[in-house]
A and B are shown apart, each in its own frame.
Chain A
């Protein structure tokens, strides 16, 4: 089986005449009204907020003299700019502290639940929503953060919004939205050993580019997706925005229900049975039509790594960096600029590239399974000299679980630093920045210029590939090192 892309012709007689897609089933249930030749008023079930993209929206409400319309459907946390060391002390950086204080004040004034610093539920907004059972199938979910697409792993329509839109949802629990085109990405087959969900999504990105899904809602399907845990599915939906997608989603199944059951805000008793019956209807009908379908062979994927300055610029770890002759059309014009920034050469091997920092964290890969994967890989190994390794758990609950399982001891023995929850070096808003010119292999989602700090050079990879580099000090194929947990896909 080879990868390919199929686009439905615009006049396809089937488009619109067949059954409904997962996206359409949820969308239709949330349309309050539709403006003629314009957007729909879309009802929002859950609204997550954080300290960076909400203050101006609260100011807007205050100027209008109105309160948040449905505060019980809003959940807040502090994650983007918080320090990841000594969280019990006042935040040293003044502007960060003011933003966090503004969030506390605004949430109190508007009656919004806040899981702020010091709270046992605090963490990265896209980690805590699912782990608390707030994120559920069939919902519409928004947040002033592009990685809101993460929540689509539960079969919800979840997407990032700007601050003006945060204000709209505050004011009316609705947004004006135009229905996007629909794409399905099918990943079938069995993953190779050492290949995990991060590699799947980096591989898809390398095939369709960082703008390949702009204007689309994407559904991920196929046997390889079905075989993944919920946390692994979240990693894939998380990075659907890196393809430009409005949202990414996966139909809920028994894996989804088992994950949600018993969580703090999950439905209970008879309500649980009723909800599961509803959730079981959330799938794309067999005759549903998509505007575009992509087919990916899971067996063709090897551990992936990026070499450039957008997440679509990725290769297998054993491959060489493309040249202007071999690269896809989308990234050709930017290749020279990207490689100059990265200090890398066309046609060179990526394996063996020296690295200075390892960052394991972010809303993409900071959950307990990610930490377990790294721990089982590094147990009994030490980090390479001269490499700094930061492990930043996604939430207080992930941190507590890691300590309970003794994972913290494994990291300590390996010379890895386990820090406290937050977005951290994914975007370098707090002190966790990579110095200019230094190489960081990172489990986060963006390798843009300056993303991890001005002049920082980011190589995106899976937790396993990042852990392998931490041990050797250079980009390494994780399959080439002994691994106690080896045996099938290492995230299963």
Chain B
């Protein structure tokens, strides 16, 4: 994250948890440096602890992203210098994390916190199901890579940029040229590239749903 965009709470001033103008459709893909959190089985209680789930809006969760790993004793004045989000050399809109990312609770607040903080892509070698859906429903792209490729990313220095090309379904380490294909459901890909909304799609199928209801009685 470049500091100029952060307010005093360490969150993006311009952040907005509603699905934004899709950033993944442009030519050349989505290019950014990355923040490495090389920990496996990161559960949604770590991403956003339950005590911060009391809001009735989608905004403002970014300041509590990874709360208990960023601060000692829940005290914002006691930052943990060894946690990547607190290390000034790391910057970017891509979060790279160990395998089985997002396991545990179904709280969509985890995806909202990641987006609100300023990440648009999460790279891991394995994602929990519910988190994957929640991320996609908020315009955050989960990119699942092989364990080997993930380790290659972790080995790169902090200035390395990654290119995520949703159209081509590829992720590239720009400095080395190493590249890997990633899978995504083609329906969800279309939604992300065009900013389509599942609810609009479902509402457009109302007649079919009502017919289904009548036929099954």
A448 pairs with B45, CB closer than 8 A: yes
Which of B103, B130, B187, B206 has the most A CB atoms < 10 Å from its CB? B103
Question: Which residue of A53, A64, A454 contacts B49 across the interface (Cβ within 8 Å)?
Answer: A454
**B window 57-86: CB within 8 A of A:** 57-58, 68, 73-74
Shortest A265–chain B CB gap in Å is: 18
Which A residues are CB-close (under 8 A) to B49? Answer: 450, 454
Contacts of B185 in A (CB 8 A): 38-39, 178
Q: Give B187's nearest chain A residue, CB to CB.
A: A38
Task: Determine the chain A residues whose CB is within 8 A of the CB of B208 once the complex forms.
Answer: 32-33, 41
In the complex, the answer to whether B133 meets A165 with C-beta atoms within 8 Å is yes
If A39-B187, A95-B55, A214-B128 touch, whether A449 touches B68 (CB-CB below 8 Å) is: yes
Answer whether A163 and B108 are a contact pair too, CB < 8 Å, given A64-B199, A176-B187.
yes
Which residues of A, 411-448, contact B by the 8 Å Cβ criterion? 427-429, 436, 446, 448
Flag if B202 contacts A211 (CB, 8 Å). no
B34 at the interface (CB under 8 A from A): no
Q: How far is the CA of A212 from the CA of B46 in the complex (A)?
A: 20
Q: Give Cα A227–Cα B52 distance, bound, in whole angstroms.
A: 41
What residues of A have a CB within 8 angstroms of the CB of B202 in the complex?
41, 168, 171-172, 174, 176
The residue from A33, A39, A81, A451 contacting B205, defined by CB atoms under 8 A apart:
A33
The minimal Cβ–Cβ distance linking B179 to chain A, given in whole angstroms, is: 24
B107 at interface, CB cutoff 8 A: yes
Chain A residue at smallest Cβ distance from B71: A454
Contacts of A60 in B (CB 8 A): 199
**Which B residues lie within 8 Å of A165 (CB)?**
133, 137
Complex Cα spacing A41 to B204, Å:
12
Within 8 Å of chain A (Cβ to Cβ): is B100?
A: yes
What chain A residues lie within 8 Å of B100 (beta carbons)? 210-211, 214, 244
- Interface stretch, picked from B36-44, B87-95, B155-163, is B36-44
Decide: A310 and B130 in contact? CB cutoff 8 A.
Answer: no
* Stretch with Cβ within 8 A of B (4 or more), from A7-15, A96-104, A121-129, A251-259: A96-104
B106 touches A146 (CB 8 A): yes
Whether B39 pairs with A337 at a CB distance below 8 angstroms is yes
Q: Complex: how many Å from CA A96 to CA B126?
A: 34
Shortest beta-carbon distance from B93 to chain A in Å: 21
Nearest residue (CB) in B for A63 is B18
In the bound complex, how far is the Cα of B46 from the Cα of A454, in angstroms? 10
User: Chain A: residues with CB nearer than 8 A to chain B?
Assistant: 29, 32-33, 35, 37-39, 41, 43, 52-53, 55-56, 59-60, 64, 66, 80-81, 95-96, 98-99, 102, 144-146, 148, 160-165, 167-168, 171-174, 176, 178, 180, 210-211, 214-215, 244, 246, 310, 333-334, 337, 427-429, 436, 446, 448-451, 454-455
Ranked nearest first, the 9 interchain pairs of A and B with the lowest CB-CB distance are: A38-B187, A95-B54, A162-B108, A164-B137, A162-B134, A55-B56, A160-B106, A172-B202, A146-B106
What are 7 of the A-B contact pairs (CB < 8 Å)? A35-B187, A55-B57, A146-B105, A163-B58, A168-B198, A215-B129, A428-B51
